[in-house]
Amino acid sequence: MSMGPLPAASPSLARLVQELHKLPGIGPKSAQRLAYHLIRLPEDEALALADAITSVKRNVIFCQDCQNLTDISPCSICQEPRRNQGQICVVEDPLDVMALERTHCYDGLYHVLHGVISPLNGVTAHDLKLGDLFKRLEAGSVEELVIATNPTLEGEATSMYIRRHLEGRDIRITHLARGLPVGGSLEYSDDQTLRRAFQGRQEL
Amino acid sequence: MACISRLSLTNFRSFEDLELELPSGVVVFFGANAQGKTTLLEGVYLLAIARSFRAENEREVVRFESAAESGQALAGGEVLRKDGERVTVHVGYQAPSHGPGPSNNGDEGKRGSTRPSPVRKEIRVNRVRTSAAGLVGAVNAVLFTAEDIQLVFGPPAGRRRYLNILLSQSDPAYLRALQRYSRVLQQRNRLLRMLRDGRADPDEMSFWNDELVREGAWITWRRHETIGELGKLCEEHHHSLSGMAEEVLVQYLPRVPPGENLAATERSFRESLVSAEGRERATHTTAVGPHRDDLGLRIDRVDMRAYASRGQARTLALALRLAEAAYLESRRGEGPIVLLDDVLSEMDLTRRRRVLEQASRFQQTLITTTDMDDPHSFFGSAAHFFRVDSGRVTPLSNEAATPATTALTNPVRD
């Protein structure tokens, strides 16, 4: 049996290290380094960080329509009148919305699921924002649902669940193409990607 | 035929930094126990099947005391193929520096968990990063160990592993299907438990059922297709090892009966799955599929898994390994590298000669032994000898190793 931790010289410092250690990707050593860095910061800079965290927790909410993270609901994307109201693109998380927005090639609406179906991680269809999606589709103004979950087993499970749920409904359901990365080379692609790319080949 | 022309091991078990040029033909590593002989074969086999054959947890292979700075263990090699092409292969293990690994999503498992985080594996072929399925097949190898007797006596898992390695090396698509199947299986088993607890809807099951049937039927079908040819090869090798014309039967014992083609096997799988519903509700684990398969091993109708003598089991296990090498050769049009890890001392003279004879048919055979008299009297100066001593590997010139020029029976003693 090891002895318990020695009483810390500064309990408040120990508490900060402990909180930082809870963050993903931060080990005990990194947590200590970050804590000492914060101590050396000018007070206003350190408080700006604390304030940013407080404000994010107080102000960020889910958009009532697309479930993306936002300060106002409906969010700015859902409120934009020039966007195509007949298309909804379904993504796993808010970072995917940002990635797609950077492309400037899609002007429809989004729906953020906040995860994928994965029993191993305890996530079922009910833990995702799927009910909200199906409610949005009830309204009937949506013509196309673009499923943009990741091409993983769990992403496919989620995509298939949505497709099954909407069977017989008059909605066009598509998903993003799988295949070669732009600028990549055939020689260095793995067989499966190449096979998918071949199956999904297009007329020139 | 392929051969490995260079092996490098960095922070890999007892080897801090090894660079070894390997000739083709028969290569014998000799030395006392615990000097690193098996580790050399482990490194070569790792480059073939992307997994360590002896580590329960692959963390074990990282030599932590010296890996602390770079944080990684690395096995690398250069493979010379039949067509003259040179392929470089690398498998690296990144030890988690501190705290949780990078795969950690969220704080789950971070607090209170004492389980060591798994090492991250990085695989490269010709310097390009790839998956295990991208590596396997780049170089084929067949490993003979003293534990092979467990192929006969041990639980079915060992025989499934034998089939899986054989099929993965002959077809990377098999490994990919196997990886996907095992992920589906884990997800499905967890979902069965969640359904029991009322934490999920039954309609979530259909995707996992479809995937289980698709991958499972394909694996079942591939095993079914393979076993005929494999069984024939096994019988041939068994005859020549034992010198007796016994009837050797290697039978596929599938949990789901294959149909006459893949589509029929899928239908059969789906039927089995439906009829297992009741059992699955009781046990909350997937009851049917290739994860429950076995191989039947019979000699003159007697079930060797239960009734073999040790001698019979050893001969049969050898025949299975020789059949594995012959099967890979016929499938890939290129013989595998043969690895014999301390297996010669267990055999009688006839079998030893027979195995060495078979092994030397291949482009390259790596042998470890504590007693080098046998390989020496068999191969004489046709083999290359390396002495392995506390993590150092030194080539021995053929003259020095030839008893004719030295009076010593074991030329390593000086």
The tens digit of pLDDT for each residue in B176-200 reads 999 999 999 999 999 999 999 999 8
Could you say which of B97, B106, B131 has the minimum Cβ distance to residue A27? B97
Of B412 and A86, the structure prediction assigns the larger pLDDT to A86
User: Is there a contact between B336 and B362 (Cβ–Cβ < 8 Å)?
Assistant: yes
3 state DSSP class of A36: helix
Task: Place B69 in a pLDDT band, splitting at 50, 70 and 90.
Answer: low
pLDDT surpassing 80 at residue B372: no
Q: Which residues of chain A make contact with B114, given a CB cutoff of 8 A? A: none
pTM above 0.90, yes or no: no
The pLDDT tens digits for B248-268 are: 999 999 999 999 999 999 999
3 state DSSP class of A40: helix
User: Is there a contact between B313 and B153 (Cβ–Cβ < 8 Å)?
Assistant: yes
pLDDT surpassing 60 at residue B108: no
The pLDDT tens digits for B291-333 are: 999 999 999 999 999 999 998 999 999 999 999 999 999 998 8
Task: Place A114 in a pLDDT band, splitting at 50, 70 and 90.
Answer: very high
pLDDT surpassing 70 at residue A4: no
3 state DSSP class of B370: coil
Chain A stretch 30-49, residues whose beta carbon is closer than 8 A to a beta carbon of chain B: 30
> What six digits make up the tokens of B340?
């014999």
Instruction: Report CB contact under 8 Å: B187, A153.
Output: yes
Q: Which residues of chain B make contact with A33, given a CB cutoff of 8 A? A: none
Residue B284 and residue A85: Cα distance in Å, rounded? Answer: 44
> What is the ipTM for the molecules in this complex?
0.77
- Mean pLDDT, range A142-156, rounded to an integer: 95
Domains and CATH numbers, chain A: 11-43 (1.10.8.420), 69-177+195-199 (3.40.1360.10)
* Minimal C-alpha gap between B335 and chain A (Å): 23
Residue A194 and residue A188: Cα distance in Å, rounded? Answer: 10
DSSP H helix total and E strand total for chain B: 14, 15
Of A150 and B110, the structure prediction assigns the larger pLDDT to A150
Q: Which residues of chain A make contact with B99, given a CB cutoff of 8 A? A: 21, 26-30
Instruction: Report CB contact under 8 Å: B102, A120.
Output: no
The verdict on B201 touching A (C-beta cutoff 8 Å) is yes
Chain B stretch 68-97, residues whose beta carbon is closer than 8 A to a beta carbon of chain A: 97
User: What pLDDT is attached to residue B129?
Assistant: 86
Of B65 and B248, the structure prediction assigns the larger pLDDT to B248
Domains and CATH numbers, chain B: 1-140+335-414 (3.40.50.300), 147-333 (1.20.1050.90)
Residue B313: how many other CB atoms lie within 10 Å: 21
Nearest to B26 by CA among B404, B368, B290, B383: B383
* Minimal C-alpha gap between B364 and chain A (Å): 28
Residue that has been written with the tokens 């009741």 in this structure: B278
> Which residues, listed in sequence order, are joined to residue A88 by a DSSP beta bridge?
A109, A145
Distances (CA, A) of B161 to B156, B290, B360: 9, 11, 26
Task: Place B409 in a pLDDT band, splitting at 50, 70 and 90.
Answer: very low
Amino acid sitting at position B61: V
The pLDDT tens digits for B35-56 are: 899 999 999 999 999 888 887 7
Residue A201 and residue A89: Cα distance in Å, rounded? Answer: 23
- Mean pLDDT, range B210-237, rounded to an integer: 96
Amino acid sitting at position B166: L
Amino acid sitting at position A88: I
The verdict on A167 touching B (C-beta cutoff 8 Å) is no
pLDDT surpassing 70 at residue B215: yes
User: What pLDDT is attached to residue B114?
Assistant: 43
The verdict on B206 touching A (C-beta cutoff 8 Å) is yes
Residue A40 and residue A53: Cα distance in Å, rounded? Answer: 19
Task: Place B68 in a pLDDT band, splitting at 50, 70 and 90.
Answer: low
3 state DSSP class of A186: helix
